[in-house]
């Protein structure tokens, strides 16, 4: 993921959905039609320290977001 920094930052700043992670973490998720692995979702696991600060724990591509995790925000389709 080191060479995917721009995609990680885009996913954090403009996610399609945010899910609750484990132990006070959040998952920012965004679909990419053209990723290094073709059509995949990028999941960025991060932790917020406060409203304006936080840090990324890890990021990975997956074929679909988890259906077991609670979705806490979803971008409306307009």
Reported as a single tens digit per residue, the pLDDT across 58-75 is: 999 999 999 999 999 999
pLDDT at 78: 66
Q: For residue 74, is it within any domain? A: no
In the chain, what percentage of residues exceed pLDDT 90?
Answer: 86
DSSP 4-66: GHHHHHHHHHS-SEEEE-SSS-EEEEEEEEEETTEEEEEEEEEEEEETTEEEEEEEEEESS--
**Does some domain include residue 76?**
no
Q: Is residue 33 part of a domain?
A: yes
Cα–Cα dist 55/59, whole Å: 12
pLDDT digits (tens, 9 = 90+) for 25-57: 999 999 999 877 789 999 999 999 998 999 999
- Whether this prediction's pTM lies above 0.85 is answered by yes
Q: How many domains does the chain have?
A: 1
pLDDT value of residue 9:
96
Domain extent at residue 46: 2-66
In a domain? residue 39 = yes
Q: Is 73 contained in some domain?
A: no
In a domain, 47, yes or no: yes
């Amino acid at each position: 993921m080191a060479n995917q920094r721009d995609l990680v930052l885009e996913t954090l700043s403009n996610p399609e959905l945010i899910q609750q992670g484990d132990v006070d973490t959040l998952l920012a998720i965004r679909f990419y039609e053209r990723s290094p692995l073709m059509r995949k979702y990028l999941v960025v696991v991060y932790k917020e320290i406060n409203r304006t600060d936080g840090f990324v724990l890890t990021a990975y591509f997956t074929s679909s977001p988890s259906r077991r995790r609670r979705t806490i925000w979803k971008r409306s389709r307009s």
